[in-house]
Amino acid sequence: MSYLDFTVGEPIADTKAPAGPIAERWDARRFEAKLVNPANRRKHRIIVVGTGLAGGSAGATLAEQGYHVVQFCFQDSPRRAHSIAAQGGINAAKNYRNDGDSVHRLFYDTVKGGDFRARESNVHRLAQISVEIIDQCVAQGVPFAREYGGLLDTRSFGGVQVSRTFYARGQTGQQLLLGAYQALSRQIAAGNVEMHARTEMLDLIVVEGRARGIVARDLITGEISTHYADAVVLATGGYGNVFYLSTNAMNSNATAVWRAHRRGAYFANPCFTQIHPTCIPRTGDHQSKLTLMSESLRNDGRIWVPKAQGDTRPAAEIPEDERDYYLERIYPSFGNLVPRDIASRAAKNVCDEGRGVGPGGQGVYLDFADAIRRLGRDAVEARYGNLFDMYERITAENPYEVPMRIYPAVHYTMGGLWVDYDLQTTVPGLFAIGEANFSDHGANRLGASALMQGLADGYFVLPATINDYLARNPHADPLTDEHPVVREVLAETEDRISLLLSVDGDRTPDSFHRELGEVMWEFCGMARTEEGLRTALRRIPEIREEFWRRIKVPGTGEEFNQSLEKANRIVDYLELAELMCLDALNRAESCGGHFREESQTPDGEAARRDEEFSYAAAWEFTPTAPVLHKEELSFEYVHPTQRSYA
């Protein structure tokens, strides 16, 4: 049986979101949720996997509440999680500018930006909480940009019409993460968090239908150990690295969420990936990752390609009337500031027409010549100096003199483990927060909203909702490694590792990862077709089969072995990739970051098909073919319209 033989199961009936006016739902849920007596909290152990914005803030907050937190990260320090690389900023409906912003507007923008594929209740809660996040982070000492009066500065970001984005130069993610890391550090010092760095989760232990622990590998000694708890929280980020080349960190991976999926957690909307339009193009086969250039560059830079195909003249020698400022031409009112998905697709189209620039023709110009003429070089330097330096460091080209070359790259995954309003997966006791879950961004995430969601989940949502689960399931029998379920999970993990080591083939882990990435980028990237997706669904099992025949992993499992880590992650990418393609094939509409060529308007824009696809696709794992469960999305407050940026 192949993945194409998937079946449609029962729809998801209850998301646990309370009824009633949307602005009161979060209060209602918090009031209805049962509480755990403070004296009993320390008897509860909670496992948190990951220490990014979501995991770090959740671990710290749960520990402050009195729970005993056992936390894991594969990095050498919890401070290095990839949230640290976020540049632009964090949205919050503070309305400090008095420019008409409100919780409702942030809610509206997010639902609309997500192309009507997110759950309204969750999004509204996110907008409400955004305000508290800023307060919390400022109190922690996060050095946000300030005005001369000492008050916080904000800017407009990602094409929205209000200035609601708080930022710390181009390092907002770093500063917010360090805030969470410091709060976590304080709890580690207090003995409330047991921190396991350089330890990677390899599987989930589900006993009697409830998540009860994880199997993890100490990356230094190779020792495989079990850890038990009353609840497990996955804050392990997105799965963009399925594409091999992405803006994710090299070690960001999908193993935790995929293993959880195999143990019963539904995986929702796996095909929703965000391709960021402004990344530095690749330079050759050696490329190991792609680097994002902040979206803010599009505020002053003009994007263009030559009008003629195969024009290899240097940019400066191409006269003005032979340049095609295609975004300004196609979208006269938004111009270069169209949303990410639209800008990315337009770049792909002009490159597909053979008008791309730079080596391999996979790039478009982002030109600051006009801005420098208009504002002066100093003003441009003040705004973008650090980004220009970074660009020059990587490409050895001076963007003050020659236009930048940019190209879209995989950046963020809106899909993830399906969670209810409480952020609980379909496995009771297993929660997913941050990018690891699917919930708030629908089919496209707005700029500066990832940080907001990660911190909302970790600081405020999960700590309120997990109480309810623990209060209702107060006494779990203690587990030992002798329990038959645990023995089985352990044996599976050990078998997988010894199998990887024993094949001793002739191909490196990276070679398979690269091959998979090429298939995914080609067929499940910026534009998808039924034919292409079917090709991918045929190719992926072939790669997987070849992987298990020809993989070569040097060394042993009982040592620091980075090749083994990589290979083990690729095993999961090779399965997840198939589900992504299946989901993309099933969703025969275009929405947000998911563009099906068969479903477009006469102007070539994404055409949603609400009658058929106004649902979140939650996939259940079975040993044969997946089962699709639909969560119908209803829009009571923001009525679906076709997005238009022309």
Partner 1 sequence: MKLNLRVWRQKNAGAEGAMATYEVDGVSPDMSFLEMLDTLNEDLILRGEDPVAFDHDCREGICGACSLVINGDAHGPERTTTCQLHMRSFRDGDTIDVEPWRASAFPVVKDLVVDRSAFDRIIRSGGYVSVPTGSAPEAHATPVPKADADFAFEHAECIGCGACVAACPNGSAMLFTSAKVNHLNVLPQGAPERETRVLDMVAQMDAEGFGGCTLTGECATACPKGIPLPSIAAMNKEWLRARRKVK
Give the active site residues. 340
Binding to partner 1 by residue 360, rule CB under 8 A? no
Nearer to partner 1, 114 or 281 (CB): 281
Nearer to partner 1, 507 or 630 (CB): 507
Q: Which of 145, 471, 588, 607 binds partner 1 (CB under 8 A)?
A: 145
Q: Of the ranges 108-116, 470-478, 508-516, 597-605, which one interacts with partner 1 (CB under 8 A)?
A: 508-516
Nearer to partner 1, 515 or 610 (CB): 515
Q: Which of 20, 332, 354, 554 binds partner 1 (CB under 8 A)?
A: 554
Nearer to partner 1, 125 or 261 (CB): 125
Scan for tokens 């708890």, then name that residue: 229
The 8 Å CB, 24+ separation contacts for 251-256 are: 251/74, 251/75, 251/565, 252/82, 253/569, 253/572, 253/573, 254/569, 254/572, 254/573, 254/576, 255/200, 255/201, 255/202, 255/568, 255/569, 255/572, 256/49, 256/50, 256/201, 256/204, 256/436
Min separation Cβ 230 and partner 1, Å: 20
Q: Which of 2, 7, 37, 287 binds partner 1 (CB under 8 A)?
A: 287
Tokens of 143: 């050095």
* Contact in structure between 110 and 95 (CB atoms under 8 Å): no
What track of x and - describes contact with partner 1 for positions 174 through 213 (by CB under 8 A)?
A: xx--x--xxx-xx-xx-------x----------------
Distance CA 44, CA 51 (A): 20
By CB under 8 A, the count of residues binding partner 1 is: 80
Binding to partner 1 by residue 60, rule CB under 8 A? yes
Distance CA 633, CA 118 (A): 7
Distance CA 362, CA 409 (A): 11
Distance CA 189, CA 191 (A): 5
Nearer to partner 1, 372 or 567 (CB): 567
Min separation Cβ 165 and partner 1, Å: 14
Q: Of the ranges 144-152, 336-344, 532-540, 573-581, which one interacts with partner 1 (CB under 8 A)?
A: 144-152
Nearer to partner 1, 101 or 589 (CB): 101
Binding to partner 1 by residue 283, rule CB under 8 A? yes
Site for partner 1 in 97-136 (CB under 8 A): 132, 134-136
Torsion angle in degrees (nearest 10) through CA of 406, 411, 415, 421: -120
CB contact set of 163 (below 8 Å; sequence gap of 6+): 97, 99, 101, 154, 155, 156
Distance CA 87, CA 461 (A): 24
Distance CA 448, CA 165 (A): 7
Q: Which of 7, 77, 622, 642 binds partner 1 (CB under 8 A)?
A: 77
Q: Which of 299, 349, 362, 563 binds partner 1 (CB under 8 A)?
A: 563
Nearer to partner 1, 185 or 296 (CB): 185
> CA quadruple 31, 33, 39, 45: dihedral positive or negative?
negative
Q: Of the ranges 71-79, 477-485, 520-528, 635-643, which one interacts with partner 1 (CB under 8 A)?
A: 71-79
Binding to partner 1 by residue 425, rule CB under 8 A? no
Min separation Cβ 22 and partner 1, Å: 22
Binding to partner 1 by residue 288, rule CB under 8 A? yes
Binding to partner 1 by residue 402, rule CB under 8 A? no
Min separation Cβ 85 and partner 1, Å: 5
Min separation Cβ 61 and partner 1, Å: 4
- Closest Cα to residue 239, out of 229, 230, 224, 249? 249
> If you ran DSSP here, which 8-state letter would residue 534 be given?
H
> If you ran DSSP here, which 8-state letter would residue 217 be given?
E
Q: Of the ranges 204-212, 264-272, 399-407, 546-554, which one interacts with partner 1 (CB under 8 A)?
A: 546-554
Nearer to partner 1, 62 or 215 (CB): 62
Binding to partner 1 by residue 139, rule CB under 8 A? yes
Q: Which of 10, 38, 39, 286 binds partner 1 (CB under 8 A)?
A: 286
Q: Of the ranges 242-250, 266-274, 478-486, 575-583, which one interacts with partner 1 (CB under 8 A)?
A: 242-250
One-letter amino acid of 468: D
Q: Of the ranges 41-49, 391-399, 446-454, 527-535, which one interacts with partner 1 (CB under 8 A)?
A: 391-399
CB contact set of 69 (below 8 Å; sequence gap of 6+): 45, 46, 47, 48, 59, 62, 63, 187, 192, 193, 194
Q: Which of 48, 84, 211, 343 binds partner 1 (CB under 8 A)?
A: 84
Min separation Cβ 190 and partner 1, Å: 9
Helix (H, G, I), strand (E, B) or coil at 627: strand
Q: Would you report the helix, strand and coil content of the chain in percent, each value rounded to 5?
A: 40, 15, 40
- Closest Cα to residue 560, out of 201, 79, 199? 199
Q: Which of 291, 299, 529, 586 binds partner 1 (CB under 8 A)?
A: 291
> If phi over 0 gives left and psi between -120 and 50 gives alpha, with beta otherwise, what is residue 21?
beta
Site for partner 1 in 26-55 (CB under 8 A): none
Q: Which of 104, 155, 169, 262 binds partner 1 (CB under 8 A)?
A: 169
Helical H segments across 331-460, by residue range: 340-352, 369-375, 377-395, 450-455
Q: Of the ranges 17-25, 246-254, 527-535, 540-548, which one interacts with partner 1 (CB under 8 A)?
A: 246-254
Helical H segments across 18-150, by residue range: 25-32, 38-41, 53-65, 103-113, 120-139
Binding to partner 1 by residue 85, rule CB under 8 A? yes
Binding to partner 1 by residue 390, rule CB under 8 A? yes
* Contact in structure between 412 and 276 (CB atoms under 8 Å): yes
Q: What is the 3-state secondary structure (H, E, C) of 433-469?
A: CHHHECCCCCCCCCCCCHHHHHHHHHHHHHHHHHHHH
Q: Of the ranges 23-31, 260-268, 280-288, 429-437, which one interacts with partner 1 (CB under 8 A)?
A: 280-288
Nearer to partner 1, 492 or 518 (CB): 518
Distance CA 572, CA 565 (A): 11
Site for partner 1 in 429-488 (CB under 8 A): 459-460, 463
